[in-house]
Chains A and B, each alone.
Chain A
Amino acid sequence: MSTKKIFGQELIDQAEQYVSNLNGNAIAHLKDNRTQGLAYLKENGFPGPKAEEYKFTRLTKAISGKFDFATPIAQGDLPMDKIADIKKRHAGANILFFINGVYNAEQSEIVSTAEELRIDSLADRADAHELIAENSDPFQAQNNVYVNSGVVIEVPKNKKVAQPVLCYYISVDNGVNYGFVKNIYLANESSQADFVHFHFSEGNAKTFVNETKNYLVKANANIKLYKVQEESENAVYVGNTNVYQEKDSVFSSFVFTFDGEVVRNNLNIRVDGQGCESNMYGLYLAKGKTHIDNHTLVDHIQPNCNSNELYKGIIADQAKGVFNGKIFVRQAAQKTNAFQSNGNILLSDNATIHTKPQLEIWADDVKCSHGCTTGQLDEEAIFYLRARGIDKDKAKSMILLANAGEVIEHIGLGWLKMEIADKVMERLQVD
């Protein structure tokens, strides 16, 4: 009999209730995933106040007692105006809509041919359960219990998806105010694609989204993932991005977080092949009481791979930032080059950042480096700009924008680069 204290009992009870309420009205081939997820939660519970991985981000507390998690999920009414706007803005791109986590095939627009892009509902892919990550994180397990909607996006061998694939995740309180979604991205050998994920809230209601992206990047494939988060100040978000890279593949992740009440991004990259490159970029601008947490892990299993990581934060008011970057270099992973950097600027005395690099290296012939800096705006730099005639506010915003620019400049899609730069400038009040 275990004496371990289980936290989040109410959430576990709700999950159990949810599964029985499904009453067979669920994707049959995901049954094992539900069962195993629930077993994991019963065994381990949700993270308590001292749980190492969640000690700065009290997600259990943020969602307990605030949502009716026992009720089966529905997408509710659609924010049609918003959907129309988005379609107009991105005419010519592939657009997929997820309202409160539920995939809406009818509203989605696929412009690419089936030859270069294949999209199926999770329900239609009997092999989907094999592509679902294990339950190594309580929210991952919770996602596995609840997920009943999502897609498998597959890029065939040797194909390049010419148009980017845009996924819009809209949180809205339309009678339902929470969602669980899981999408699976299968990039076959030597394929290439850009995926852009927009996460935002419609209105200011209390919402919760628990989302998973699983990327299988096969040999020699090149995949870019962009994630843009603009949730409302009452939105709680937790996302797990699990990436599995085979030999000679390139995977690049960009995460831009602007708003939200509590946002937690887990990015786990398992590099299980030689000659791989993994890039992780992040930019978070927090204000008000927003709490933004990025946990990343790159696990080097095979030799001759490179990983680069650059996360930058600008934190104002009473906002909080958390960065934890794990780099594992297994014994076999000789000749690994792994670089990590996290830089933060705190704009107020009440802004906080918790930053922790975590390198665990078992191989002996590797190049690894990490660095983190936290500071206020550099007064010396501001004076330098002012001494050339630039006013104080402009000087501040120039320095902040330059800081953010170190991440933005790596964006490969021109229109997205401009869009992100505009958002950052607007936030930093640069004209």
Chain B
Amino acid sequence: MRISVQEEPFDLGVEAEEFAKGADEVGAVVTFTGVVRDSDAGGMQVMEIEHYPGMTEKALTQIAQEAVQRWSLGDVLVIHRHGRLRPGDRIMMVATAARHRKAAFEAAEYLMDYLKSRAPFWKKEISADTADWVAAKDEDEDALSRW
């Protein structure tokens, strides 16, 4: 299991390759990558991501451990960036390894649902003349109830 909260970019290919290596006990590897998208209003130049050092790592570890237990994962990877990002930048990724694909997909969805509303990150969308904090969506909170 690896959890990384980092400012610097990550190489999707390298991370996926490293993760899939040594997964000889598992039959399925799923990766999900989140990309910074423009604000709904358009014109976003920078997405600033703030986090709570210490709690972030703890929360991500707890979420990942829960996923490992629930779906008997062989391995799990969570990378989440903070700092100033631009549209198109890769913001985060998760990878799960399991014996069967259903477990790997479900665990990845579980990680994403919990990461959205239980990991202490906050996003600010900055354009030429506005700077707005992204509000949490009710549907993100509701998504947790299915687990």
Task: Note whether A and B form a binding pair.
Answer: no
